[in-house]
Amino acid sequence: MRAGIGVEEAATESPEDSTTSRHFGVYEIERREDGSLYELGHGGMGATYRAIDTTLQRKVALKIIRIGVATRSTEARERFLREARAAAALRHEHIATVFQFGICEETGQFFYAMELIEGETLEERVRRTGPLSVRTTIDIAEQVTSALVAAENRSLIHRDLKPGNLMLVSPDDEERGVPSVKIIDFGLAKALNAPVDAMQLTHDGFVGTPAFASPEQFESSTLDVRSDIYSLGVTLWFALTGKTPFGGRGFEEIRRAQQSDVLPLEQLKAARVPSHLRSLLKSMLAFEPAARPGTHELTAELQRCAAEARGERRAGIGLAAAAILVLGAAAFSILWPLASGHKSAAVAEKRPLGRPVLEKSIAVLPFENRSEDKQNAYFADGVQGEILTDLAKVADLKVISRTSVMQYRSGPERSVRRIGQELGVAHVVEGSVQRSGNRVRVNAQLIDARTDRQLWAQSYDRDLADVFAIQSEIA
């Protein structure tokens, strides 16, 4: 668990200074090999440590509330414990369980112990691997939304949803390939019916992380679940792009951006986010809470987005499969005479300077996306990727990797002969994909890279739903 992206909730003291004790009730903070306290993360409210329950002998995450907050007033202490009891009653598969709240008799500090999640935060995942796929992001959103529904049913909101508070656990089902999500720090939840001044728990009365906070959090207005939905929208934006929609490092900069700046939807388009999901994120980030979807509406919209993503992926695979059969037949017609001892006329020609060229070698160049909607570029990339996967199974055929050919996207300067020389291949596949509504056109051609001679070409124009029928037609 780490501090949030962007502006911290408040200036924080050193984690080592935030506690003078290792023991909080039955919990003992562990030490690292160098003797330092085993800190997992820290923020404006305090620091979180890895600890052990000395009674049950289980590992926990122990949150220590910094002294400045804990000693503010008797009312604050009572309010904290009241909210703590409500949060501790919350049980959900996507929320880290809170085990216990208490006050350290030695220091007077608040603390609470929660389930220790072994994994990495969403923030860490994106920093490590880059933006997530649309499919994975939607799956994460569905899991978090189901947790928000459960919290809303108990009149609770989180108030600090952000990538740093979403723990990702590697999936048991590797084929499914999506992580299980656990929301942490629900112990800081605020009861929906609490008075507005109950927010006075951190510096300047602000609870949360400004880069992910809703506009109403900046105004100390009454909050409901739609505040969490706004924060979830920013979190999903970050997952898809690696950025937050509104820049700025200070409270006022971010607040002004929320009020006056237009959402930079081009970031989502550049990340090839489907239009339905873009529209949903736009509604989640509406300035007025009333314009945002509720939890049940959000659940339904995410299901539609998931169905759309699955449908486009299946269609892309179908197109790729059809193209593979076409190109496989063409490759066979070229390679069969070679295997039988016949030689291409090009073999007799003097080879130009470049890498040594194997006769049985091929490169599949990136397919050109000719669709009006440029977000369909991933559709064209899927065709290329499936062709590469299939050709790689052909024995004794040298197939250039996708990474090596991605620099050769279509353009006026693209020369098949030069590409063949640079990659050391005898044959090149190139093509285009154009999708318009429910219609799709796939063009593909096989070229002798040594002579620029077209060996085979085919064009298919079909309804998207009929793409699998192309396979039978080819057969």
Cα–chain center distance at 63: 27
CB 392 within 8 A of CB 362: no
Q: Write out the two tokens for 12.
A: 């924080």
- Please give the span between the terminal C-alpha atoms of the chain, in angstroms, as a whole number: 55
Amino acid sitting at position 248 = G
Contact 232, 166 (CB under 8 A): no
Strand segments (E) across 161-244: 166-169, 180-183, 190-191
Task: Answer yes or no: are the C-beta atoms of 384 and 366 closer than 8 Å.
Answer: yes
Rounded Cα–Cα distance for residues 238 and 112 (Å): 29
CB atoms within 10 A of CB 350: 5
Write 443-449 long-range contacts (CB < 8 A, 24+).
444/323, 444/326, 444/327, 444/367, 446/327, 446/330, 446/331, 446/334, 447/416, 448/344, 448/346, 449/363, 449/416, 449/417, 449/419, 449/420, 449/421, 449/425
Distance CA 464, CA 475 (A): 19
Residue 468, classified by CB atoms within 10 Å of its CB into exposed (0-12), middle (13-18) or buried (19+), is middle
Could you tell me the sign of the dihedral formed by the alpha carbons of 105, 109, 110, 114, in that order?
negative
Number of neighbours of residue 304 by Cβ within 10 angstroms: 13
Rounded distance, CA 216 to CA 222, Å?
A: 8
Q: Is 160 a catalytic residue?
A: yes
| Angstrom distance (rounded) from CA 253 to CA 383 | 44
Name the catalytic one among 17, 53, 139, 160: 160
DSSP output for 143-170: HHHHHHHHHHHTTEE-S--SGGGEEEE-
**Segments in 244-376 forming alpha helices (H):** 251-260, 265-270, 275-284, 295-339
CB 435 within 8 Å of CB 376: yes
Point out the residues that are catalytic.
Answer: 160
